[in-house]
Chain A
Amino acid sequence: MIRVHNLTKNYGNLRAVDNISFELEKGDVLGFLGPNGAGKTTTMRIITGYMPPTKGSVRIEDVDIFDHPLKAKKQIGYLPENPPLYNDMNVEEYLDFVADIKMVPSKEKKGRILYVMDKCGITSVSKRIIAHLSKGYKQRVGIAQALINNPSVLVLDEPTNGLDPVQIIEIRELIKSLAGERTIILSTHILPEVTMICSRVIIINEGRIALEESLESLSLNLKSSESLYLKLRRNGDDVKEKIESIENISKVNMSAPGEYVIVPSNGSDVREELTSMAVKYNWGLLELRPLIHTLEEVFLKVISSEG
């Protein structure tokens, strides 16, 4: 459980984070989105106790991270933007060290190390010096490090950064499998990732929350504004008019000669009528598909309306 209350952080005159509040319960996976420099990393650094806020408070499992840092930090696993690795150690030594400083009890340590190495797929490189690992493996060691103390709160700053497509899928699966018992915050700029893993989304821009929604209501919003794309071989002057004559159509735009974007009213399905009309008038139907508003579009809309 994480409670972030009125968080503000100034760097000199620059306000990096401006009055952010949110609450997450066990099982929530929050996707933290925003353009570069929006304040994502700063917020995560404050939540993990790396730096104090100028104003506001953070409670981890009901423990204030600045009043009782040692107690709160025991509950946290944190993967910073750059994985914090000691290049001169091998993977197993490194995880052993992290387990020590994260206060993992010594009798559980061995088991935890084997478990996180297995979970993150780094067992095969356990004896390799970290400096010699590829970027993808380093990232995975970084994730393993964050999991070593079996944290109830997991903060991941761009966890799939630097991974190849197969690894990205593996790590996403891993994060999903970790969710249930934990509270997870992850930042990313790969938007589909949020749709795949997260249960909630916060878009942050210029230090402020620009949008906060559960993924269900977000995708519901996206669906309801679903419009259709129609492409015809033979364009005629009366095509637009004829389409508009169909029932339950609120708007028709010609995006290019022979290409139309059709907005049905209240989510009604007009595809059947459109196809039969195209056949009837011999327009030469080439393409008819739904135009789904992607998270990208929402993101861009939110960000640009803020600016």
Chain B
Amino acid sequence: MNSIYPILKREFKSYFASPLAYIIIVVFQGISAWFFFLYLKGFLHIQLDPGFQLQRGELNLNNLVLAPYFGTITLVLLIIIPLITMRLLADERKSYTAELLFTSPIKLRTIILGKYLAAVILLIIMLTLSSINVFVLMVHGNPDIGAIMSGYIGLFLLGASFLAIGLFASSLTDNQLIAAVISFGVLLVLWLVGAMSPVDGSILGYISVINHFEPFGKGIIGIKDLVYYGSLIYLGLFLAHTALESERWR
């Protein structure tokens, strides 16, 4: 397992060897800041409008700024994460380095885990940078710190699950674009399946990635949701492992 570090290090450095990681971070940062600003502006507008005096209790920072802000970030992650994961395994095949990795004295799961963690660190960097927006609230207002924390934990888990699914998609092909399209497609289905669910508590509702995020945005960290994201991460990594293993046996 101590060979996980060289894999992780190489993968992480390789993100920053091309402009890709910088562009992803800047775009993510730009969109989240822009929407944060819009939500905040809307909130201030309502605060100053005497017509909303009565409902002011409902119309707090959490409901009007943080919740929609987190919602926007989940959507941006849905689009950006396939771009982060697309090359992880697909590119190893394209550049023939898969032969180097698979003939080295390291386990396949070490390779997969190393690559996955490199992407996770990039996600953490993105989320940490975006939290600057929220600090503005802490300086000038009185937001619910607990809800912010749980919201970010939720975003991290959601993003980490997306990364695992993206990694699996990347294990299926040597073409980065195809990998990105597959992971985007799978994520979109997992996202929309909740909207198709006729009643609360149905299986479709349970499968939905976004239904499990909602409690985090409200400051609730539920075991059920932790288990859900944990299983999704495990499933993605397991399927990637299986895909690579079975390809060699074919």
Contacts and interface: CB of A to CB of B under 8 A. Distances in A.
Interface in A12-60: 12, 45, 48-52
B7 interface: yes
A101 B102 contact: no
A200 interface: no
Contacts of A98: 100, 104
B6 A51 contact: no
Nearest to B107: A70
Contacts of A100: 3, 5-6
Nearest to A145: B100
A80 interface: yes
A71 B99 contact: no
A11 B18 CA distance: 37
B99 A101 contact: no
A268 B97 CA distance: 55
A64 to B, nearest CB: 14
A50 B3 CA distance: 18
A82 B10 contact: no
A12 B3 CA distance: 34
Given A45-B99, A50-B99, A103-B3, A11 B248 contact: no
A73 interface: yes
Interface residues of A, number: 32
Given A80-B96, A85-B96, A102-B105, 17 more contacts: A45-B99, A48-B103, A49-B102, A50-B99, A50-B103, A51-B248, A52-B248, A52-B249, A70-B105, A71-B105, A84-B99, A85-B95, A86-B14, A89-B10, A100-B3, A101-B7, A101-B104
Across chains A and B, which 10 residue pairs bring their CB atoms closest together, nearest first?
Answer: A100-B6, A84-B100, A88-B17, A73-B105, A82-B96, A84-B97, A80-B99, A48-B103, A101-B104, A70-B105
Given A73-B105, A100-B6, A103-B3, A88 B97 contact: no
Chain A CB within 10 Å — which of B9, B103, B104 has the most?
A: B103
A36 to B, nearest CB: 18
Contacts of B132: none
B18 to A, nearest CB: 7
A284 B17 CA distance: 72
B176 to A, nearest CB: 14
Contacts, number: 75
B183 to A, nearest CB: 22
A88 B18 contact: yes
A82 B92 CA distance: 12
B103 A70 contact: no
Nearest to A10: B250
B103 A97 contact: no
A88 B14 contact: yes
Contact of B103 (A78, A83, A87): A78
Contacts of B13: 89
B101 interface: yes
Contacts of A76: 103
Nearest to A77: B103
A73 B10 contact: no
Contact of A83 (B10, B96, B107): B96
A45 B102 CA distance: 10
28 contacts: A45-B99, A50-B103, A50-B248, A52-B248, A76-B103, A78-B99, A78-B100, A78-B103, A80-B99, A81-B96, A83-B96, A84-B96, A84-B97, A85-B95, A85-B96, A86-B14, A86-B97, A88-B17, A89-B10, A89-B17, A100-B5, A101-B6, A101-B7, A101-B104, A101-B105, A101-B106, A103-B105, A145-B100
B237 to A, nearest CB: 19
Nearest to B5: A100
A202 B3 CA distance: 37
A49 to B, nearest CB: 6
Contacts of B103: 48-50, 73, 76, 78
Contacts of A85: 95-97
Nearest to A47: B103
Chain A CB within 10 Å — which of B14, B98, B102, B105 has the most?
A: B105
B82 to A, nearest CB: 20
Contacts of A135: none
B244 to A, nearest CB: 11
Interface string B9-32: 110011001100000000000000
A74 interface: yes
A84 B3 contact: no
Contacts of A50: 99, 102-103, 248
Interface string B99-117: 1111111110000000000
A113 B104 CA distance: 17
Contacts of A45: 99
Contacts of A89: 10, 13-14, 17
A124 to B, nearest CB: 22
Interface in A87-138: 87-89, 97-98, 100-103
B105 A74 contact: yes
Interface in B52-108: 95-107
A86 B10 contact: yes
A100 B10 CA distance: 11
